[in-house]
Chains A and B, each alone.
Chain A
Amino acid sequence: DSGVTQTPKHLITATGQRVTLRCSPRSGDLSVYWYQQSLDQGLQFLIQYYNGEERAKGNILERFSAQQFPDLHSELNLSSLELGDSALYFCASSVDGSGTWLFFGEGSRLTVL
């Protein structure tokens, strides 16, 4: 158990819909990262927050947005969903924002039909 909690574990929805994925970091970790894992693409970095503020942005689509709240939990919002958005979405956390010691959650599996 990494200490990072993600909900929901599984989500099935239709194209055009909007979903919110939630992440609670390890106790004491200030930084949260979101990654997308598709079948053939490996882990693609989406976005990072540190202590409530956006720290870095990767290949995140404009239809996606995220935020980190004062209690340090984070939400990833995916809107106007397309079939290609079906993937595993991982949240990771670290004490600082250095990107080295990341602890990953178990992921949220999104299926868009």
Chain B
Amino acid sequence: GQQLNQSPQSMFIQEGEDVSMNCTSSSIFNTWLWYKQDPGEGPVLLIALYKAGELTSNGRLTAQFGITRKDSFLNISASIPSDVGIYFCAGLTQGGSEKLVFGKGTKLTVNP
């Protein structure tokens, strides 16, 4: 089946540093989504990308939909302690939840 390879698996950074994580697949997706899961909470949608090449920002977060439609990246600038959590990418091929595939997540730790 379709799989998303998300990297890195975990990151340990200092407050103020920029962060970059990415997601790749051998399959093409029509939509890329980035979610964040805080400890003890459910995932929350951060950014949705709908077109190849699209670059979208949400505050200190920036995400891009790869030109090949097989990858996406998420950047976080000037990290702060509350950025701690697990970041998931998800790809959607077409309408229908059976096609929403999640990566295994990137666990981010920010040291003050």
Contacts and interface: CB of A to CB of B under 8 A. Distances in A.
Interface in B27-74: 31, 33, 40-45, 48
B48 to A, nearest CB: 6
A70 B42 CA distance: 25
Contacts, number: 64
A58 B43 CA distance: 19
Nearest to B40: A106
Contacts of B99: 99
Contact of B97 (A4, A40, A41, A48): A48
Given A4-B42, A56-B97, A106-B42, A101 B48 contact: yes
A104 to B, nearest CB: 3
Interface residues of B, number: 23
Interface string A41-64: 111110010000001111000000
A57 B42 contact: no
A107 B95 CA distance: 24
Interface of A: 2, 4, 31, 33, 40-45, 48, 55-58, 90, 92, 97-107
